[in-house]
Amino acid sequence: MISVSGVSMRYGSKVLFEEVSTTFSGGRRYGLTGPNGAGKSTFMKLLTGELEPQRGSVVRPRKLGVLRQDQYAFDRFRVIDTVVMGNERLWSALAERDALYARAEMSDEDGMRLGELEGIVGEEDGYTAESDAAILLQGLDIGDALHDRAMAELQGGQKVRVLLAQALFGSPDALLLDEPTNHLDLDSIHWLEEFLQRFAGTLIVISHDRHFLNKVCTHTADIDYQTIITYTGGYDDMVVAKTQIRSRIESENAQREKKIAQLNDFIARFGAGTRAAQTTSRRKEVERLQTTELARSNIQRPYIRFTMKRPSGRTVLELEGLTKSHGDLCVFSGFNGVVNRGEKVVLVGRNGAGKTTLLKALLADSPDLPASPGDLGSGTLRWGHEVSIGYFPQDHTGAIEKGLTAVEWLHRFDPGASRQEIHGLLGQMLFSGEEGHKPTAALSGGETARLLFCRIMLQRPNVLVLDEPTNHLDLESINALNIALQKFEGTVLLVTHDQDLLEEVGTRVWSFDNGRIVDHKGRYEEHAALAI
């Protein structure tokens, strides 16, 4: 159990939360939700002890599993050792024990201390630590061949999995996970969902994956209105309950305001007359009926709408024998396919299977984008008549030119657009007021993603090629993107690990597996059912 009592945090004039008191009980799994900037990561740091509250206190259990955000902190350690470090008491005992055994001679005190340390190792299941850590790593797709390698040799996504295994190691009483599904493919996410559903302690997780929250969480702790309110159920249950509560308060306020208006009218008409006693009682009634003040929500919802300048021809893309290799490694071979106007193709497979490689091959010699011969494979690739492409890259590095403001950068893609139109588009994507004049070099990951969507909406293409577009978006923005893609009348090629997007947007699946691409002409749920 984790207990929070009277906790307040503010930065300058911005209040994140005020006098928050809540309890996270054992056996329950909590999703910590709220829009970007609401204070989710700050609150998580208060729970882990990385930050001290400005006011109030936090009581936490002795064994706490925390997902570390610094991917480079363990670069000099072996992968398997990094996982075992998740149990700090065990790791300290092992390190001290090994140091004592390394001595040429041991004193009686050393021998007694060794006995104590061996007791700690036994209590903490240290004699099976490496095999327990290996099972966690295998579940997260970190094979045996990597277990003795240094963390510095791993790729970013692999490091995240190891740090996730570190948080899960040692059977902690409480588990605190900040964006655990980042950089995980669907198979790893499904494994994590099943693991967390079996977790017997207290779980608190921040995630922008709606499906993951609905699947895992028994309760939702929502940061909004400068406080934290806990709802029963997953994310969708919280949204329904929150909407119903606010609607009820608004309805009650409307009825009270109507009654107050009637009473005030009576008071104004008869206050100075013979009915003074009646007006006095009505004044007391007005005081009693004062409406409940509604705090302002922090939630901001972007408005995403993709339109086309003109439709493409019926055949959007033709592929014959498309093959791509990196040196001796064949990524995919002999892929054939025809994509027709209006199809929404989702690309699925393990990380590193070739999804991004295929998109780059398709775009290497495409209309509207710079040629990139190095990304081309062999085989035949033909884009159809009147195709225009809007591209959202997975790696945003260099996607937005520095030395400009957001308005100036966006205006380059449609010099004929008025400044009012540009600011209106930026406003849709939550760049309010002067934020449109923010330097592009100062944009956060989420702001960069929203500005790239502004560009696509301004260009009005008929084909969208989106590579992991949800990575830096909050839940409200992801939901807005989901709806926009469903309503878009053009063609979509989409790489994502967000299961709601896969299920609700995709009408066709390209599945990557061991150098082969399987083309399933149907929805993702049908493809997933066949794979079982």
Residue 270 within any structural domain of the chain = no
Residue 250 within any structural domain of the chain = no
Structure token pair of residue 101: 């055994």
CA 15 to chain CA centroid, nearest Å: 23
Residue-wise pLDDT for 99-128, tens only, equals: 888 888 888 888 899 899 999 999 988 899
Structural domain span for residue 71: 2-238
- pLDDT for res 252: 67
The C-alpha atoms of residue 153 and residue 137 are separated, in whole angstroms, by 16
- pLDDT for res 474: 84
Of 241, 494, 474, the residue nearest 362 (C-alpha): 494
Is residue 38 very low, low, confident or very high in pLDDT (cuts 50, 70, 90)? confident
Looking at 209, 238, 267, the residue that finishes a domain is 238
- pLDDT for res 475: 87
82 and 175 housed in the same domain: yes
65 and 156 housed in the same domain: yes
Residue 262 within any structural domain of the chain = no
392 and 513 housed in the same domain: yes
Mean pLDDT of 308-322: 95
| Angstrom distances, CA of residue 249 to CA of 246, 261, 292, 301 | 5, 18, 7, 22
493 and 360 housed in the same domain: yes
Would the pLDDT of 86 be above 60? Answer: yes
Structure token pair of residue 374: 């190095």
Mean pLDDT of 287-310: 74
Exposure pattern of 372-405 as b/e (b: 16+ CB <10 Å)? eeebbbebebebbeebbbbbbbeebeeebeeeeb
H or E segment to which residue 281 belongs: helix 276-288
The C-alpha atoms of residue 228 and residue 18 are separated, in whole angstroms, by 9
Residue 425 within any structural domain of the chain = no
Residue 295 within any structural domain of the chain = no
208 and 326 housed in the same domain: no
| Angstrom distances, CA of residue 335 to CA of 378, 511, 531 | 10, 11, 20
395 and 489 housed in the same domain: yes
Three-state DSSP at 302 gives coil
Structure token pair of residue 380: 């035949």
Backbone φ, ψ for residue 11 (5° rounding): -125, 105
Residue 352 within any structural domain of the chain = yes
If you average pLDDT over every residue of the chain, what do you get? 87
Mean pLDDT of 309-323: 94
Structure token pair of residue 144: 């045996």
210 and 327 housed in the same domain: no
325 and 232 housed in the same domain: no
21 and 107 housed in the same domain: yes
Would the pLDDT of 244 be above 90? Answer: no
Contact yes or no for 367/313 (Cβ under 8 A): no
Tell me which of 501 and 287 has the higher pLDDT: 501
Structure token pair of residue 290: 């004062």
HEC readout, 89-120: HHHHHHHHHHHHHCCCCCCHHHHHHHHHHHHH
Would the pLDDT of 295 be above 60? Answer: no
- pLDDT for res 258: 76
Mean pLDDT of 409-432: 90
230 and 328 housed in the same domain: no
14 and 110 housed in the same domain: yes
- E strand spans, 252-328: 315-326
198 and 319 housed in the same domain: no
- pLDDT for res 10: 86
Mean pLDDT of 162-188: 87
Lowest mean pLDDT among 43-57, 326-340, 370-384: 370-384
- Residue 198's Cβ-count burial label (10 Å; 0-12, 13-18, 19+) is exposed
Total residue length of the chain: 532
| Angstrom distances, CA of residue 211 to CA of 94, 195, 202, 365 | 40, 16, 20, 36
Cα of first residue to Cα of last residue in the chain, in angstroms, is 37
Looking at 207, 238, 269, the residue that finishes a domain is 238
Residue 514 within any structural domain of the chain = yes
The C-alpha atoms of residue 5 and residue 61 are separated, in whole angstroms, by 15
The total number of structural domains that make up the chain: 2
- pLDDT for res 271: 66
Looking at 238, 254, 273, the residue that finishes a domain is 238
- pLDDT for res 119: 93
- pLDDT for res 454: 95
| Angstrom distances, CA of residue 59 to CA of 43, 48, 131, 140 | 13, 10, 32, 31
- pLDDT for res 456: 96
Structure token pair of residue 119: 């007791």
Would the pLDDT of 429 be above 70? Answer: yes
- Report the CATH number that the domain containing residue 472 is assigned in CATH: 3.40.50.300
Structure token pair of residue 393: 């890259």
Residue 301 within any structural domain of the chain = no
Structure token pair of residue 387: 């195709």
Residues sharing a CB contact under 8 Å with residue 474, sequence separation 6 or more, in sequence order: 35, 36, 208, 446
CA 147 to chain CA centroid, nearest Å: 28
Mean pLDDT of 53-76: 87
Residue-wise pLDDT for 186-217, tens only, equals: 888 888 898 899 988 999 999 989 999 999 99
Give me the DSSP letters along 22-84. Answer: EEE-TT-EEEEE--TTSSHHHHHHHHHTSS--SEEEEE--SSEEE----TTTTTTSBHHHHHH
Of 421, 387, 393, the residue nearest 407 (C-alpha): 421
